[in-house]
Structure 1
Amino acid sequence: MSAPMSLRVPNKDTVNFLVRAHLMFIVVLVLIVYIPMNTHLPIDIVNECLNGVKSLIAILTLFQILINVVAVPNYAQIKSTTFKVRNVLKVCGTLILGTLTFHCIAVLFGAQFVNSVAETFHFALLLSATTILPSLCVLGVHFTTWVRVYSQNSPDLGPESILCCSTIGSLVGAWSGALPIPLDWDRPWQVWPITCVLGNLAGYLLGLCVGTTHLFLHFNKSRKFKLT
Structure 2
Amino acid sequence: MAATETKAKATKSHPIESWDDGISPIYTHLHPLLLLGLFYYQFPSLVENPVETLPQTALGVAALQLLYLCICIPGSNQAQLPQRGKKKGKVTQNHQGDTGFGAKLVPGILSLILAVTLGAPLIAIVLILFGAPLTSHQAHTIYCGLHISLLAAYPLFYVHGVDGAKWIEVGALAAPIDEVFGATVGTLIGAWVGAVPIPLDWDREWQKWPVTILAGAYMGYAVGKVVGGLPLKGFKIKIA
TM-score, normalised via structure 1 length: 0.71
Report the identity percentage: 27
- Pair 66,7 (structure 1): closer, same or farther in 2 beyond 3 Å: same
Distance in 2 (alpha carbons) for counterparts of 1:124 and 1:10: 28
- Name the CA distance, whole Å, in 1 between partners of 2:25 and 2:135: 43
Q: In structure 2, which of residues 179, 203, 207 is the aligned counterpart of residue 190 of structure 1?
A: 207
Report the secondary structure of 2:46's partner residue. Answer: coil
1:31 Cα offset (Å): 2.3
- In 1, distance between residues paired with 2:18 and 2:200? 49
- Residue-pair matches, total: 196
Q: Structure 1 stretches of 5 or more lacking a match?
A: 81-87, 219-228
**What is the root-mean-square deviation in Å for CA atoms of aligned residues?**
3.3
Which deviations, in whole Å up to 9, do the C-alpha atoms of 1:167-187 show, x marking residues without a partner?
Answer: 000111111111111111110
User: Runs of 5+ in structure 2 lacking a partner?
Assistant: 1-11, 80-108, 235-240
Label 1:77 to 1:108 Cα distance change in 2 as closer, same or farther (>3 A). Answer: same
Aligned to 2:189: 172
CA offsets 1:26-48 (integer angstroms, 9 cap, x no match): 222222222344xx5xxx32223
- Distance (Å, rounded) in 1 between the aligned partners of 2:118 and 2:42: 31
Is 1:129 the counterpart of 2:180? The answer is no
Q: Take 2:224 and 2:145, find their aligned partners in 1: how far apart are those partners?
A: 19
Matched residues in 2 for 1:109 and 1:144: separation? 27
1:65 counterpart = 2:71: no
Q: Which residue of 2 aligns with 1:31?
A: 37
Q: Deviations over 1:144-172 (max 9, x none)?
A: 122334536334xxxx7111100000111
- Tell me which of 12, 17, 20 is aligned to 1:13: 20
1:104 Cα offset (Å): 1.8
CA distance 1:92–1:25, change in 2 (3 Å): closer
Q: Which of the residues 153, 157, 162 maps onto 1:141?
A: 162
Of 94, 107, 126, 1:105 maps to 126
Q: Which residue of 1 aligns with 2:224?
A: 207
Q: What's the counterpart of residue 45 of structure 1?
A: 46
Work out whether residues 76 and 139 of structure 1, in 8 Å CA contact, stay in contact via their aligned partners in 2.
yes
CA contact (8 A) 1:19 1:212 kept: no
Q: 2:115·2:149 contact (CA, 8 Å) conserved in 1?
A: no
Return the offset for 1:120: 0.5
The structure in which a higher percent of residues are helix is 1
Q: Which residue of 1 aligns with 2:101?
A: none
Asked whether the 8 Å contact 1:177–1:196 carries over to 2, the reply is: yes
Moved more, 98-107 or 143-152: 143-152
User: Residues 69-128 of structure 1, C-alpha deviation per residue, up to 9 Å, x if partnerless?
Assistant: x3357x201568xxxxxxx99985664333222212222222211220000110011111
Q: Compared with structure 1, are the counterparts of its residues 56 and 213 closer, same or farther at alpha carbon in structure 2 (3 Å cutoff)?
A: farther
- CA distance in structure 1 between the aligned counterparts of 2:146 and 2:16, rounded to whole angstroms: 32
Partner of 1:225: none
1:151 to 152, 155, 172: 172
CA contact (8 A) 1:162 1:211 kept: yes
The SS at the match of 1:105 is helix
Match for residue 223 of structure 1? none
Please tell me the residue identity of whatever aligns with 2:138: V
